[in-house]
Structure formats: C-alpha cells, structure tokens
Amino acid sequence: MNELAMDHCADIGCHEVSLRRHGQRVLEMISCAFRPGELTAVVGPNGAGKSSLLQVLAGVLAASSGTVAINEKPLTEISAAERARLCAFLPQSEAPAWSVSGADLVALGLLPWGRLGDRDERVRAALARVEGADFASRPVTQLSGGELRRVQLARLLVGEAPLLIADEPTAALDVRHQLQLLQTLRGIADGGKTVILALHDLPLAARFCDRVVLLERGRLRAQGTPQDVFTPALIGEVYGVTCEFRWRAGEPEFVVFDLV
C-alpha cells in the first residue's frame, strides 16, 4: 500500500453552518456536500463568503453554529493531526514567513505523514506538476507572485490527503498555468479525491468543475451543475452584470456585456 494513503476518500458536508466574524454574520445556514470524484467550484461576488466557507470546511475557522463532518465524523471530533492527513488546504494568500527554498516549502505538505524515504522524489514530482522544477533551489522570497503561488500549489499537491481545498488557486497564474492547474485538479478528482476550489473565473469553473456552489452575501444562492447554476438570469442578478452563457458540446462560452 502507498505509504501515504491512510484515508482513501473523503465525503465532506456542512449542515446549517453559520459564521460570525467580529459580530458580522458572514455565513448563514449553509448546507452542502462534496463527494469523492467531484471537483466543485465555490463562486460568488467579493465578500460573498467563499474564503470563510472554505476555512470552515478546512477546520481553520470554527463555525458559530451548524456542523461540518468528514466521512460523517464531526470536524470537532477529528484531531488536528488526523485532519491534516485528511485535508490539504491552500489559503487565498500567504506571504512566506522566511526564506526557505522552493523544495523545502513544498516538503511542508508532507509533514502530516512524518519522515518519508522518498521525500525528495515526491517534492520533485509535485514541482513538476506546476512546471516549477526551476524553483526547487530558489529562495521563495525571491520568486514572482505567480511563481510563489505555483510552489504553494505544489505543496498542496505533494501529499495524499483525500480532500483538497484551495482558495482562488488560479488568481496569480498566467493562462497556461491556470489551464494546467485545472487539468491537474480535474485528474486528481477523477482519481477519486474530493476537490473544492474558490474561483472567480466562471468560464474555467464551467469547463472543469462538476458542481458549482454559488454564494451571495453569506447565503447559499444556488448549487448544482455548471449548466444549472450558470444562467444569464442568475449570474446577472448575483453579480450585477448582463451576460450570456452559451453551451456548445458541453464547452461554455461566457460573455459579460455590461454592468447593470
């Protein structure tokens, strides 16, 4: 058996989750489920609650009420060490605290599994997935924004947690690396992992994701397939734009016409 694969799959669900931050209600009675084999995009306007929801799912923030459970076990009953083996999380932004090499930063993603004989090989393979071999020996404080993000993504990908949660993973990437990342994450989901992403890029979400969770001002506005959720009426209303979504052989063409 693979040395890392202790938990093979992760069903994660939240039930009536609400969250208050500094007295402000930022999530209100959110219920949704994420299954192995699925790539889900959490979308919505700025401030809708995407990062907050991802942090609650990853156990970084505790819900004010409601429950989050992985494989039907409440997150509150899962130890931090066990959670780290179940869930790899990439926050929206994260400045490097000190100047380690790219390879050492990626290797942090293996910490939940202790010392591994093939650490270096795993780190090399993860960096290769983001075309980041050249960053292995570079101090991370000397990388560009997109290069650093790719190293952080390699850290997300290096372990074998069955659940991957990434907050705006494509935000700093050029178009080639956005496509490459979504293809990689699609393949990871097809391999049986549960993958949840906050995304602003609706065409990318439509093209690669199985499911979309649409948040609006802390509430769950819609969830379903991209074709269910990405309708001009709904997206237009939630984002305050006029837009057109056309579907051609399952591929979306999305055009924003104007502000409303």
Ligand X SMILES: Nc1ncnc2c1ncn2[C@@H]1O[C@H](COP(=O)(O)OP(=O)(O)OP(=O)(O)O)[C@@H](O)[C@H]1O
The verdict on 240 binding ligand X (CB under 6 A) reads: no
Structure tokens at 76: 């509150």
Q: Which of 3, 31, 37, 47 binds ligand X (CB under 6 A)?
A: 47
The verdict on 49 binding ligand X (CB under 6 A) reads: yes
Q: Report, in Å, the least distance between residue 23 CB and ligand X.
A: 9
Q: Report, in Å, the least distance between residue 33 CB and ligand X.
A: 20
Among residues 22 and 176, whose Cβ is nearest to ligand X? Answer: 22
The verdict on 152 binding ligand X (CB under 6 A) reads: no
- Residue 39's nearest CA partner among 181, 140, 231 is 181
Determine the 3-state secondary structure of 25 from DSSP: strand
Determine the 3-state secondary structure of 225 from DSSP: coil
Q: Report, in Å, the least distance between residue 25 CB and ligand X.
A: 9
The verdict on 51 binding ligand X (CB under 6 A) reads: yes
Q: Which of 48, 140, 163, 181 binds ligand X (CB under 6 A)?
A: 48
Among residues 86 and 213, whose Cβ is nearest to ligand X? Answer: 213
Q: At what angle do helices 145-158 and 119-129 cross, to 10 degrees?
A: 130
Q: Report, in Å, the least distance between residue 47 CB and ligand X.
A: 4
The CA distances from residue 92 to 73, 104, 169, in Å, are 26, 20, 7
The verdict on 220 binding ligand X (CB under 6 A) reads: no
Among residues 12 and 110, whose Cβ is nearest to ligand X? Answer: 12
Q: Report, in Å, the least distance between residue 103 CB and ligand X.
A: 29
Among residues 47 and 191, whose Cβ is nearest to ligand X? Answer: 47
- Residue 131's nearest CA partner among 183, 76, 84 is 183
Per-position DSSP letters for 176-210, written without gaps between them? HHHHHHHHHHHHHHHTT-EEEEE-S-HHHHHHH-S
Of the candidate spans 28-36, 41-49, 73-81, 205-213, the one that interacts with ligand X by CB under 6 A turns out to be: 41-49
The verdict on 44 binding ligand X (CB under 6 A) reads: yes
Q: Report, in Å, the least distance between residue 99 CB and ligand X.
A: 27
Q: Per CB under 6 A, which of residues 6..25 are in contact with ligand X?
A: 21-22, 24
Cβ pair 41, 212 in contact under 8 A: yes
The CA distances from residue 175 to 62, 146, 201, in Å, are 35, 11, 11
Strand partners, 195: 39, 164
